Amino acid sequence: MARHRERCAPERHGDRLAVLFLDLDNFKTVNDSLGHPVGDRLLAAVARRLSGCLREDRLARLGGDEFVALLPRLEHPGDAATVARKMLEVLDDTLRIEDHDLRPSVSIGIALYPDDGQSVDVLLKHADTAMYGAKAAGRNNFQFFVPAMNERVPTSASSSKARCAGPLPESSCCCTTNPRSTPAAAAQSAARRWCAGNTPNADWCRRPSSSRSPRMWE
């Protein structure tokens, strides 16, 4: 029964979907050299640009510099590559934050349902693994998951980042999960709600009101 619940709703409808795991390249350098306020504003700006690449898809922020996007009802696997390529392109333009000109980039890993997994846990794990493959390939690119990647990426790679962030200041979409959970657990919780057929879902993607002050949890 539990195994059945973990399977995605698209399985019941014969749909194909993609999970994109994104990691902002060299974000720690920005935080360490320019300070956390600049880093927070950079994350908000990146989230807005990434959200602009999506239509009915879902974007969630997990840890300090990690995002997950769900692309439902793909007609062709190449559609996921099109979205990933667009995400890379929209971040190519310089961002002016305070007195700093920043050019952020992301590394993106892609896992496809049902090819790369038929449960939320497996899809997230494989997308995360593919993201590390993109890092190894030089960053600022995307990689589709292939089984050979499991031999090169440590199984604990995604658990090395234990921070989960709250709502982004002025961001378009954010993940609203238990702030003390790990990024992997946050992704699983949000993705399970989506995969259960609860889309659109206010808990998955929402616009924070201007009256809410941004919060960060360590």
Neighbouring CB atoms inside 10 A of 183's CB total 29
Q: Where residue 26 falls among pLDDT bands split at 50, 70, 90?
A: very high
Query: Is the distance from CB of 187 to CB of 121 less than 8 angstroms?
Result: no
Taking only the tens place, the pLDDT of each residue in 44-96 is 999 999 999 997 668 998 878 999 999 998 999 999 999 999 999 999 999 99
Where would I find the beta strands (DSSP E) of 25-105? 58-61, 66-71, 95-97, 100-102
State yes or no: is 116 an active-site residue.
no
Taking only the tens place, the pLDDT of each residue in 99-140 is 999 999 999 999 999 999 999 899 999 999 999 999 999 999
Q: Where residue 150 falls among pLDDT bands split at 50, 70, 90?
A: confident
User: Which of 2-11, 115-124, 164-173 has the lowest average pLDDT?
Assistant: 164-173
Structure tokens at 65: 């510099």
Structure tokens at 153: 């990426």
Single out the catalytic residue among 25, 40, 57, 65. 65
C-alpha distances (whole Å) from 182 to each of 52, 64, 154, 163, 177 are 26, 11, 17, 6, 10
